[in-house]
Amino acid sequence: MPNDTKQRIMAASAELFRRNGYTGTGLKQIVATANAPFGSLYHFFPGGKEQLGAEVIRWSGDTYVHLFDAALGPAPDLATGIRTFFAGAAHTLRESDYADACPVATVALEVASTSEPLRLATADVFEAWIAAGTESFGRFGLPAESARQLTIATLAALEGAFVLSRAMRSTEPLDIAAQAIVTTGQALAAPE
């Protein structure tokens, strides 16, 4: 079975997990969306849905880890970078009619207490994001500990804003979260 089948299964799973959650996504739905034979799922993921889920979480996480650099890298200052980061998230929500948020957080909320392999996969992704954000925020002159704090605050605000925005069908929570993180970032960047 060609490797592109595995990639299609992973891409379909990532999309379905983001929209429907882990428990709301069935294996038949995944292979149908991926246009793959059912047996290919167990060929590539002999551990079943849990193995697939862990691999998809890490794969999705690797895709999204670059968003910090994409938003903050070209920014002339910290506040602009933060606003760009949150504006990108708001754009994604509007374009997907509030269906696409964070695939990792969606799964983490569901399985953190019920599946240790999936909890570990989500924790690994969040740690990778924290490392990437810490590095990106550090380019604005923040000390490492302050950059880490700002990254964690950014991710917490972003994930919470995703939940509110999807429920309210509004990007207002993302706009407010962005401003709160700008204020936090400016406070952390201010000389003592």
- Residue 108 CB coordination number (10 Å): 20
Contacting residues for 125 by C-beta, under 8 A, at least 6 apart: 57, 58, 60, 61, 64, 65, 104
Mean pLDDT per segment of 10 residues, for the chain of length 192 residues?
A: 83 90 93 94 94 94 89 94 95 91 85 92 96 96 96 96 94 97 93 68
Contacting residues for 38 by C-beta, under 8 A, at least 6 apart: 27, 28, 31
Taking the C-alpha atoms of residue 65 and residue 85, their distance in angstroms, rounded to an integer, is: 12
Distances (CA, A) of 95 to 75, 105, 110: 23, 19, 25
3-state DSSP assignment of residue 142: coil
- Sorted by where each starts, the structural domains of the chain and their CATH numbers stand as 3-53 (1.10.10.60), 65-189 (1.10.357.10)
Tell me the pTM.
0.90
The two three-digit tokens of residue 91, written as one number:
């754009």
Predicted confidence at residue 13, as pLDDT, reads 95
Taking the C-alpha atoms of residue 9 and residue 36, their distance in angstroms, rounded to an integer, is: 7
Contacting residues for 73 by C-beta, under 8 A, at least 6 apart: 136, 139
Predicted confidence at residue 50, as pLDDT, reads 94
